[in-house]
Chain A
Amino acid sequence: EVQLLESGGGLVQPGGSLRLTCAASGFTFSSHWMSWVRQTPGKGLEWVANIQQDGSEKNYVDSVKGRFTISRDNAKKSMYLQMNSLRVEDTAVYYCARDDYGGNGHFDYWGQGTLVAVSS
């Protein structure tokens, strides 16, 4: 059974940092692109970043470029999101999602999400 489990969320002050972790199981992690997607009540669902199977290619939404870094460790079947210089507008539930193997651009499995709250 495919499982994705996020951790690392919490309350942080503006300008602070957090590192999210996504632990994967039940599939060949190294065969899939992986993504982070966030959800806020005001802006709905927003794709944040993705990373290629071997970590060589990474893409980010403009609003987090230069502040967030996506990475992965295939040996540990884990993906990470290092979030620096956090802003109030980064407050959201952050989901880890598996990109489909066929390259069709959809997310076929999601984690349960972890809440990041940025507030003073």
Chain B
Amino acid sequence: DIQMTQSPSSLSASVGDRVTITCRASQSISRYLNWYQQKPGKAPKVLIYVASSLQSGVPSRFSGSGSGTNFTLTISSLQPEDFATYYCQQGFRTPRTFGQGTRVDSK
């Protein structure tokens, strides 16, 4: 199985900050890397798919980059509604696997 490792596990930031979360795959997954946002009590919501494609309706302050084994999710200017947990997920091979999550909270 492909292991997905996110860092950091949590971070504290302020509104307006630039936030970067990284995700590393245990083997190359080309660009089949997706990012989700999850708020308490809600289902995950896809933000970015195939590494850098913005899901329809997602604000442009979210962006993704990377290929192979190393990927990044960037929030260019953190907004109050962005405090949440973020997960990466590989879509390269079954079983699909997720990172352990990165919790973004208010500093």
Chain A residues packing against B (C-beta within 8 Å): 35, 44-47, 50, 59-62, 95, 100, 104-108, 110-113
Contacts and interface: CB of A to CB of B under 8 A. Distances in A.
Interface residues of B, number: 25
B22 interface: no
Nearest to B35: A106
Summarize B's interface: helix, strand, loop or mixed. Answer: loop
A61 B98 CA distance: 13
A35 B91 CA distance: 12
A50 B99 CA distance: 19
B49 A106 contact: yes
A61 B95 contact: yes
Across chains A and B, which 3 residue pairs bring their CB atoms closest together, nearest first? A105-B91, A110-B43, A106-B34
A108 B95 contact: no
A59 B95 contact: yes
Contacts of A44: 87, 98-101
Given A44-B101, A111-B43, A104 B91 contact: yes
Contact of A47 (B45, B97, B101): B97
Given A44-B87, A95-B43, A110-B44, A59 B50 contact: no
Contact of B49 (A60, A104, A112): A104
B61 interface: no
B98 A45 contact: yes
Interface in B65-89: 87, 89
A102 B29 CA distance: 17
